Structure 1
């Protein structure tokens, strides 16, 4: 019995497919093994772990271990939380526990820190816990700080007057063009 050309080609294709499977199986197995190992290595112990950075930074500025662990665990961006507290602690004389409470509640902790530090430096006062409260109330803390510092540089305001003026969020009507009436 002689094999036809079609049968010979079919046999050769099956043989090459089998060889290909034999070669690719080990490669795929090794790739799968590496894919499972690599993510676990990244999680084990790394300085790039934001929770580790958060805890270390909070502890270094005097936040209690209990508060640091709870704060870092609850934070959406733990590194931003700890950076906020550290900046306020290092550049003002505000108590780290107070800074921690405000930074924990802020939508943008780094903006809160910039606000508190900017106002505290601008007011030339050693301790300005009011800045912490007002910056925490502001929706745009950096803009708020610019308002407070700018007004105080040009107008003889007390720090509280500037804080009250800039935080005032009353709706004011602005008329545009002649003949327009406010509604």
Structure 2
């Protein structure tokens, strides 16, 4: 009797574990930009001053065309930076909308900010909005000699914060050969 139960159990397990189909995932069109999104991308990048050949290549290869073009358009409208410099940075981040928010917040909140430095620091940060909040919040209370010093202080702190989060909160005890 025992020999029969094992195949029955295996058959039961194989029936209950069915593979997921593509249709079962919610919002499967999320990664399928529409023609309007590509058109918006091209329109915004051209309006920002990006050359046509670069616009075609950039919009075609990006996963979220409007997020990228919104990033470029927002930063270009609030700074004096070259659109191609902005595009190069917006392409290299996971969160282009947060990059744009970071750059515009710091540039409008700190009068002495050098826009290209702000763009680079915001791009380097893994959490751009947290970074801009740090620069503006700490900078409003601490009298930094320049925005560059505030940028460096906040980017260094976020690096240390991430390192501390990765470290375990316990210490391994060395076992002696007697305890084994």
TM-score grouping bracket, smaller chain normalisation: 0.5 to 0.7
Match of 2:77 in 1: 90
Q: Aligned-pair distance for 1:125?
A: 3.5
Query: Which of the numbers 141, 150, 165 marks the counterpart of 1:162?
Result: 150
| d(CA) in 2 for partners of 1:52, 1:139 | 29
Match of 2:175 in 1: none
Distance 1:182 1:53, change over 3 A: same
Q: Aligned-pair distance for 1:123?
A: 1.6
Match of 1:153 in 2: 140
| d(CA) in 2 for partners of 1:62, 1:79 | 16
| d(CA) in 2 for partners of 1:152, 1:126 | 12
Match of 1:28 in 2: none
Q: Name the TM-score, length of structure 2 as normaliser.
A: 0.67
Number of matched residues? Answer: 132
Task: Give yes or no for contact 1:111–1:142 (8 Å, CA) kept in 2.
Answer: yes
| d(CA) in 1 for partners of 2:113, 2:141 | 21
Give me the CA root mean square deviation.
2.4
Give the match's secondary structure for 1:105: coil
Structure 1 segment 38-57 matched on structure 2, within 5 A: 49-57=36-44
Q: Name the TM-score, length of structure 1 as normaliser.
A: 0.66
| d(CA) in 2 for partners of 1:66, 1:55 | 10
Match of 1:133 in 2: 120
Match of 1:61 in 2: 48
- Higher gyration radius (CA): 1
| d(CA) in 1 for partners of 2:171, 2:75 | 43
Q: Where does structure 2 lack aligned partners over 5 or more consecutive residues? A: 1-32, 173-180
